[in-house]
Structures are given as C-alpha cells and as structure tokens.
Amino acid sequence: MLAYAHDLNSFEQYLKETYPDEVPAKAAPVMIRSWLASMRESGIQARTVNRKISALKSFYKYLMREQVIELSPMTAILSPKVKKRLPQYVEKQDMDRLFQDDVFPQDFKGQTERVILQILYATGIRRSELLNLKEQHIDFSNQTIKVLGKGSKERLIPVSASLLALLREYRELKKQLNDAADREYLLVNEKGKRLHSGFIYNTVKRYLSTVTTIQRRSPHILRHTFATHLTGNGADLNAVKELLGHSSLAATQVYTHNHIEKLKEIHKKAHPKS
C-alpha cells in the first residue's frame, strides 16, 4: 500500500509541475505518457515504471467503479518491455576446480558435503528433491536415480559410473555410523539423522564461494549450471527439459539465451570487426 500511495503521489506531483491546471482524475493519456517518458529519461528501470503503471491502472479502475470517470486513460498506455534476467551459473572450469582440488574433508560430514555438490551438479535436481532422495531411488544396475519432483511427478535421471561409485562409498560410510542411522533417505548427518534444508544451502554456498565470484551461490545455481553446461555442449533442449522436470519447453529455453550471450561475448572479444 505504501508503494501504491507513493506512486500516485509522484504522479500527482508531476501533474502539478507540468500541467498545473490538471488533476489525476482528469489526466489524458498524453500526460501519462509524458510522465512515464520522464522517468525513463531519468534512468528509472522498466520494472519500476511497470509498477507505477499498475498503480495508475488500479487508481482509474477505482474511479470508474465510483462513476467518477467513464473510461480509463490507461487503455491507451503500453507497458515497457522488461529485459529477462538470465540465470546465473558457475563456469565449467570453476566446477572442475572444485572437484579436482582436494577440498572436502575426509570425515563423514566432509563426504556428505561432497555428495551434495556432486549430485546437484551432475543431475540438476532441486534442493527439495535432493532432500527427499531415498536409497531405493538409486538404480545401480541401470545407472539412474528416480526423482520425485513438483506435483509428485517422477522422472528418471541417468548418472555416471563415477557418481554411482561415490554413492556406493557413501552408503558404506553410513553403515559405519551407528545402528540407528537413517536407512531410508540417502543423506544424513554425523548422528545418522536425515539432513535439513539449511545444511544443503549452507554447504553449497560455502564451497561455491571458494571457486566463483557470482553473486548468488545457492543450490539452485547448480541447477542452472547443470542446464547451461548441457545446452552449451549441444544437448537437445527437449532432453534438458525432461531432465529438469519442466512442464513446458519455454522454461528451459532461457538456458539457450545464456549460451547465445556467451557466444556474443566471445565474438566481441575475438573478432576484429566486432
């Protein structure tokens, strides 16, 4: 409500300064466009401008309901396009460095952390999906894991022999903890209790901080990294969609934009006529 009131007050102030004889209720579309143009010229972002447009639309709808005006001037106003934010991801050489360097402690906690990072990067699953991953979901003979995604939808994800070997070792370490260690869910702490979401988040953030300077370093960044690296290496977009568990291809296509932007960057740096 405060933002809504602020937006209406700023519009009213603009009218007083630019069109002294006008009031918001009687403002014409040309006056509103003038206000919007002045904001864009001053460097205000499209998202903020769109919020102010939304406030005006609500204001004029209210005036129509109260029969103060017959037609909203906002019917002639178009919202500026907002540039889509491309998902952040970790560069391949940085992920390689994380796993090649011996950064994970050899105790049970350190090996749990290694498994967390390896699974998230190798499969692109969500943090909640990793938390709910059960030992019985790992099919060693077919080299797949079964993931329970959004809406209880199941999907099978192929995994490498090296990851399966790591998971075998981890299961053996679990058996050595104590008799009460959770045998249902894959990931547990040193006491054998099922992990909580915060542990996974903090683990990923801490280790990614050692290899990358990107602003966001959450588990979801590893999902973006998985998809970006796949599309960058020529993976079929429909296949990536299935691996991620997306319901529509549109949600997956954003990763092709990441690849295109990377190509533009390379071209700009390398081509003499760029």
**Residues acting as catalytic residues:** 126, 150, 220, 223, 246, 255
Residue 111's nearest CA partner among 201, 203, 43 is 203
CA angle 66, 67, 69 (to 5 degrees): 115
Residue at token pair 């205000």: 44
Query: Rounded to the nearest 5°, which phi and psi values hold at 133?
Result: -70, 125
* Spatial distance between the Cα atoms of 115 and 168, rounded to a whole number of angstroms: 11
* Spatial distance between the Cα atoms of 112 and 84, rounded to a whole number of angstroms: 36
Largest CA distance in the chain: 82
* Spatial distance between the Cα atoms of 76 and 74, rounded to a whole number of angstroms: 5
Give alpha helix (H) positions in 91-140: 92-100, 108-123, 127-131
Residues in CB range of 13: below 8 A, 6 or more apart: none
Provide the token pair at 171.
Answer: 């299961």
* Spatial distance between the Cα atoms of 135 and 165, rounded to a whole number of angstroms: 14
* Spatial distance between the Cα atoms of 61 and 74, rounded to a whole number of angstroms: 9
CB 147 within 8 A of CB 131: no
Residues in CB range of 43: below 8 A, 6 or more apart: none
Residue at token pair 């901080």: 209
